Amino acid sequence: MGGGCRARAPPAALRFLVAHAMLLCAAGSAAAAGTVNPCCYYPCQHQGVCVRVGMEGYECDCTRTGYFGANCTSPELWTRLRDLLKPSPAFYHFVLTHFRWLWDIINSTFIRDTLMRLVLTVRANLIPSPPTFNSQYGYISWEAYANVSYYTRILPPVPEECPTPMGTKGKQQLPDAQLLAQRFLLRHRFEADPRGTNLMFAFFAQHFTHQFFKTSGKMGRGFTKALGHGVDLGHLYGDNLQRQHQLRLFQDGKLKFQVVNGEVYPPSVTEVPVHMVYPPAIPKEKQLAMGQEVFGLLPGLCVYATLWLREHNRVCDVLKQEHPTWGDEQLFQTARLILIGETIKIVIEDYVQHLSGYFLSLKFDPELLFGQQFQYRNRIAVEFNQLYHWHGLMPDSFIIQGQEYSYEQFLYNTSMLMDYGVEALVESFSRQTAGRIGGGQNINANVLGVAVGVIEESRQLRLQPFNEYRKRFGLKPYVSFQELTGEEEKAAELEELYGDIDALEFYPGLLLEKPQPDGIFGESMVEIGAPFSLKGLLGNPICSPEYWKPSTFGGATGFEIVKTASLKKLVCLNVKKCPYAAFHVPGAAAGTHSSRAGGASTEL
């Protein structure tokens, strides 16, 4: 994509060699002369691919970029016209989050479908399919395509033979990750998300993403244990067949459960001995057996695990009534497809709708893409995994029915789920405001170590600088830390640590970027994160023309369950008394949501 990218790298081989020689002299690295990879300068613009030629030369492959020239900087005619007429992402965002009266009209016309199709295609086309690179292969290879044990990558790693960790810009050594987190990410005062995001949203984000973000450190850098690479509900059914079979009842398609005080909950590990991660002090009978081995960490994750368990078994009852001749296996498999569909519907029309703040009512309708060039396969990228660490959402304490719980009291509190019940926890989580993610200094000390780990992992994986990702997703690179943060003091400190805005790392850049007006985070998180999200959701096989039909879901009744799913329904069809259930605190929807999004919280 275009977007006014600056050709910071020397445009010709001669200028490259001069700059390279000057850099080596300044660094006093005479021994390294002739060994620096020219691609360390990121000379190829507009998604051009840099290929090293000889010892000191390079070529830019500009194929199908819309640009030509030595560094892919000269636009073709149609590219020039497109870039001339194309509004900036900031303009799009402004229009989509203002003029509510106009969007109320548009949402009731065919224009809504047209705009939704445009949103899906433009976003999804930014994600390469089939995948291109992984952490082992920074060039196109069969292994990078076929080995699904790896996360894929949007940009190849920083070449090995570079003068600085981020290429050629910045200092010889990156700032200490712990220092970086303490100075710029650690929360000093809780800042509520101005959009009214709540803990029901925060726990949904965590439970939803943990089905496909399962980094496998034991295997090495850049590996994942979630081989489904998308919405497969592995967090409910397990990420392998053995775990799935342990969790299944093998009767009427249902999952195993226990009944406490007349309510259905996940079974204990004494009944279902799957591997779960709990501290040794937690007795076995208090440990719940769930599809995701870490879900015992937080009561909020247990709530969602319980809701989806109940929903699966409820759907099995519906299917059994519709199809009395079906056996256990067909009931289970069809219920799983229905729940996958429900999940995608809730994510697009409730979760992403709230997150975007758009007045355009987002719509889950796979048929919008039928007839378009679209590949129904997804691979989870390292960059998406890095980006989605939103620990700023977590509060400083947790309020359940007026009772305040510290982190020490809340973590691994396996009794809370059954002591309070699902209704009370949903109500409490829906009414407690989450923290803002962007702008820096928004992460509670109890979870700061996770951010440190993300930064350290990004260095092991040699992620390219933040500005290179800005350019890759059609955004203008920042020219200074002041422009990035909007704060002079913070900008000066970052300049001191990094030396150059083009040496700023990917994850710190996302978190330190100034938030959009009344937004939960900055422009880059939206423009880089949304393409990954929408491609992963609509790239699911159930969205393909071969799958998206009533028979896939057991007939018209099952298809209707998918097409009418909502967060409110998920909760209220699986509890005795319907609580307030939404992704925003009460009253917050009025100024920031479309009429569809606000209405979704009350419709059944």
Cβ–Cβ under 8 Å, residues 207 and 301:
yes
* Cα atoms in the 13 Å half-sphere on the side-chain side of 256: 22
CB neighbours of residue 433 within 10 Å? 21
Cβ–Cβ under 8 Å, residues 1 and 473:
yes
Residue type, 478: Y
H helices of 422-515, where? 422-431, 448-460, 466-472, 481-485, 488-498, 506-512
Cβ–Cβ under 8 Å, residues 604 and 218:
no
What is the C-alpha separation between 243 and 237, in angstroms, rounded?
A: 7
Cβ–Cβ under 8 Å, residues 480 and 501:
yes
H/E stretch holding 134 reads strand 133-134
Using alpha carbons only, what angle is made at residue 76 by residues 73 and 77, rounded to the nearest 5 degrees?
140
Chain Cα centroid distance, residue 342: 18
Residues with catalytic function: 210, 388
Q: At 231, is the secondary structure helix, strand, or coil?
A: coil
- What are residue 198's DSSP bridge partners? 433
H/E stretch holding 68 reads strand 67-68
In order of 57, 60, 462, 473, the CA distances from 40 in angstroms are 12, 13, 12, 20
**The residue count for the chain:** 604
What is the C-alpha separation between 226 and 519, in angstroms, rounded?
A: 31
Task: Name the CA radius of gyration of the chain, rounded.
Answer: 25
Cβ–Cβ under 8 Å, residues 96 and 358:
yes
In order of 108, 226, 262, 539, 566, the CA distances from 342 in angstroms are 23, 20, 26, 15, 7
Cβ–Cβ under 8 Å, residues 336 and 237:
yes
In order of 20, 163, 353, 479, 569, the CA distances from 579 in angstroms are 64, 58, 21, 49, 11
CB neighbours of residue 503 within 10 Å? 20
Q: Report the candidate in 167, 164, 146, 147 with the shortest Cα–Cα distance to residue 156.
A: 167
What is the C-alpha separation between 175 and 171, in angstroms, rounded?
A: 9
What is the C-alpha separation between 411 and 429, in angstroms, rounded?
A: 15
Q: Which position has the token pair 């405001």?
A: 433
Angle between helices 556-563 and 328-346 (to 10 degrees): 30
Using alpha carbons only, what angle is made at residue 176 by residues 171 and 180, rounded to the nearest 5 degrees?
100
CB neighbours of residue 145 within 10 Å? 16
